[in-house]
């Protein structure tokens, strides 16, 4: 009986919380509101669109295995609502940086959704040591010209990391022959995908039996593409002002050591935290720069951050 009473109390607490949230969001105030609230949330089976594709390469959805795997990713990502809303918010902030770099290299625009599933558009760190929005490994970064050490890690520099991702994808496409396989190789490596194709005597991603992560990879990308391209269709409601925006910055060039970034930040009317938010590739509180390399540091324009 005590367990039942506790459960009822918990449910009552949830109801109060829900009412509070709805009140904050200008919920209707008529006498039927509680009834509307009870019936306002529904879970639906989703209709998988007939003509999904990745980078113009169609998904063979008439294959029941492919259909079920696509259905799974649409369901998981549609009903993980908090994460979905964060993806909409961050996409508004970061896609305008990523998109022109992809276009410059001739990479299909769909690859921006690869960054979404890799990191959630955050500077994530994987257990294997991959870092940044594009989850680049140390060796790959260095092979492609990024500076990576305790002092500076350009895997956290979004523009430079996107350039590296483009180079990797172009090489993968050249070796594997399709954008879908190139995307899979971003997860499993070109050698790994090539070996599986040879072992299983097939020529495309959808015919391969792969480990779960790589086997879900393209389906996750396409699911995020479909959802982020059609918010109303999948029940995501937001206003333009709810989304995140990039704070405009100007560039400051530095070709000498910087002994104290706190003082450097104050000289530019910001604090250390704000400096690091806009330059996450600066990994320490100082810059060694014994070689007198030219670095470009982003400083936010005035008026966006206010000192307390």
Q: Mind listing the pLDDT tens digit for each residue in 72-117?
A: 999 999 999 999 999 999 999 999 999 999 999 999 999 999 999 9
Please report where in the chains the tokens 């449910």 appear, as a residue: 11
Contact 169, 186 (CB under 8 A): yes
- Average pLDDT taken over every residue of the chain: 90
pLDDT of 135-182, one tens digit each? Answer: 999 999 999 999 999 999 999 999 999 999 999 999 999 999 999 999
Task: Give mean pLDDT, residues 25-33.
Answer: 49
Same domain, 191 and 65: yes
Q: How confident is the model at residue 41, as a pLDDT?
A: 73
Above 50 in pLDDT, residue 58? yes
Closest residue by Cα to residue 161 from 177, 141, 142, 181: 141
Same domain, 238 and 276: no
Above 60 in pLDDT, residue 22? no
Range of the domain at 270: 249-300
Q: How many domains does the chain have?
A: 3
Number of helical (H) and strand (E) elements in the chain, helices listed first: 12, 4
Same domain, 207 and 182: yes
Flag whether 44 is in a domain.
no
Same domain, 57 and 178: yes
Greater model confidence, 41 or 65: 65
Task: Give mean pLDDT, residues 194-218.
Answer: 98
List the beta bridge partners of residue 132. Answer: none
Same domain, 132 and 237: yes
C-alpha span between 44 and 75 (Å, rounded): 9
The β-bridge relationship of strands 295-300 and 57-58 is: unpaired
């Amino acid at each position: 009986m005590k367990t039942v009473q506790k459960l009822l109390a918990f449910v009552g607490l949830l109801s109060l919380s829900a009412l509070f949230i709805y009140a904050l969001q200008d919920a209707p105030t008529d006498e039927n509101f509680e009834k509307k609230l009870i019936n306002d949330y529904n879970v639906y089976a989703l209709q998988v669109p007939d003509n999904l594709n990745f980078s113009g390469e169609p998904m063979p959805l008439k294959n029941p295995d492919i259909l079920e795997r696509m259905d799974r990713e649409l369901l998981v990502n549609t009903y993980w609502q908090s994460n979905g809303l964060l993806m909409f918010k961050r996409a508004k902030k970061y896609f305008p940086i990523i998109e022109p770099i992809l276009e410059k290299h001739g990479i299909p625009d769909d690859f921006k959704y690869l960054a979404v599933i890799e990191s959630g558009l955050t500077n994530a760190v994987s257990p294997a040591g991959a870092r940044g929005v594009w989850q680049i490994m140390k060796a790959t970064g260095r092979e492609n010209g990024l500076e990576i050490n305790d002092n500076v890690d350009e895997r956290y520099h979004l523009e430079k990391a996107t350039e590296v991702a483009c180079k990797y994808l172009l090489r993968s496409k050249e070796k594997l022959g399709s954008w879908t396989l190139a995307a899979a190789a971003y997860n499993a490596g070109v050698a790994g995908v090539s070996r599986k194709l040879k072992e299983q005597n097939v020529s495309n991603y959808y015919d391969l039996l792969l480990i779960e992560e790589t086997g879900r990879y393209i389906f996750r990308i396409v699911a995020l593409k479909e959802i982020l391209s059609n918010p109303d269709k999948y029940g995501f409601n937001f206003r333009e002002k709810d989304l995140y925006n990039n704070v405009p910055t100007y560039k400051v060039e530095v070709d000498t050591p910087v002994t104290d970034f706190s003082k450097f930040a104050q000289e530019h009317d910001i604090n250390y935290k704000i400096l690091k938010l806009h330059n996450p590739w600066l990994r320490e509180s100082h810059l060694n720069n014994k070689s007198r390399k030219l670095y470009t540091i982003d400083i936010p324009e005035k008026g966006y951050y206010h000192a307390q």
